[in-house]
Structures are given as C-alpha cells and as structure tokens.
Amino acid sequence: MIMPKGQQLLLPANPVFIWGSLLSAMTLDMLQNMALWGRAAWQPELLALVLVFWTIHQPQRIGVAAAFVLGLCMDVHQSALLGQHALAYTVLVFLAIGIHRRLLWFSVPSQAAQVFPLFAVAHALTLCVRLLAGDDFPGGWIALAPVLEALLWPVVSVLLLLPQRQAPDPDANRPL
C-alpha cells in the first residue's frame, strides 16, 4: 500500500495495548453508568468508539467476535436485554471493517465525519431493540450520543496512536 504524502510510518500495535485500551474503555463506560445520573441517553459509549478505532486500524486483531463478547459484557453490566449491545457492536464492527481501507486515506476530521453514520446506526439498533422489548423512549437526547462519539474521534485517534508514533531507538540522524 502506498502511503499518503506526509503521513508518518507507524510502529506495529502492541496487542497488550490494544486489549488494555478496550478493557479501559469498558471500565470507563461501566463507571460512567454507575455515576450519579446513571445511564443517560446522551452519553457517548467509549467502548464502541475504541472498538471502531481498533477495528479500523487493526482489523486482523479486533473483529466481530471481540465486539460480540464485549457487547455481552456491557449487557450483563447494564442489566439490559441480553444481546442488545452485542448486536449493536457486531453491526458497528462489521460496518467498520467494510470501510477501514478507504477511511485511513482521509484526515482525522474527515474520518470523524465518516464514522458518524456508523455510530448513528448502532444507537438506532439499540433503540429499536429497547423499544421492541417494551422499554420507554429515552427522549430526543439520544441523538446527541453519536454526535459526541464522532467529536471524540480525533481525541481517541491521537491518544491511541501515540505509542505507535514513538521511535524505537530515537537518534539525531534517524527522524523515524
């Protein structure tokens, strides 16, 4: 693959860092759900955001099976309908795998605009499953969650790519 002009060559991603970031995002989501306000409809799902990021950047390591298992963990934690998050995360990862090659050619703000529909579809699926199960409509604030996730995309991209941008042996004569 020919790299776009001006793009830095990245080091390989450490699998421990990948899984650590996914587990950290799941922990932050769980802590966010246990906060004073509980699970608000407008809150972004950090696990979904990190899951999509690693699916796009490392599709050979993170896939539909990982999304399904992490979704089941979130369902159990939230006492939600079993499979609700698992369905949303698997569809989210499937769609991310479909666009991962094309997406990496764009700048980070353009990537954020292109992953927004993926997050919107995942939240719409979750909402449909909840409504079909007889839950109440959470309100119009639910439309804010995918917007916040898309706005967080540049932050997550910078933070999760930092270890790969480090030079293995920094030297004054080797800028890589």
Top pLDDT among 1 and 48 is at 48
Query: How many C-beta neighbours within 10 Å does residue 68 have?
Result: 17
The full length of the chain comes to 176
**pLDDT tens-digit series, residues 72-106:** 999 998 888 888 999 999 999 999 999 998 998 89
Q: Is residue 97 part of a domain?
A: yes
Total domains in the fold of the chain? 1
Q: Is residue 151 part of a domain?
A: yes
Say what percent of the chain tops pLDDT 70. Answer: 88
Range of the domain at 90: 15-164
Query: How many C-beta neighbours within 10 Å does residue 36 have?
Result: 4
Q: Is residue 174 part of a domain?
A: no
pTM of the model: 0.87
Q: Is residue 175 part of a domain?
A: no
Q: Is residue 172 part of a domain?
A: no
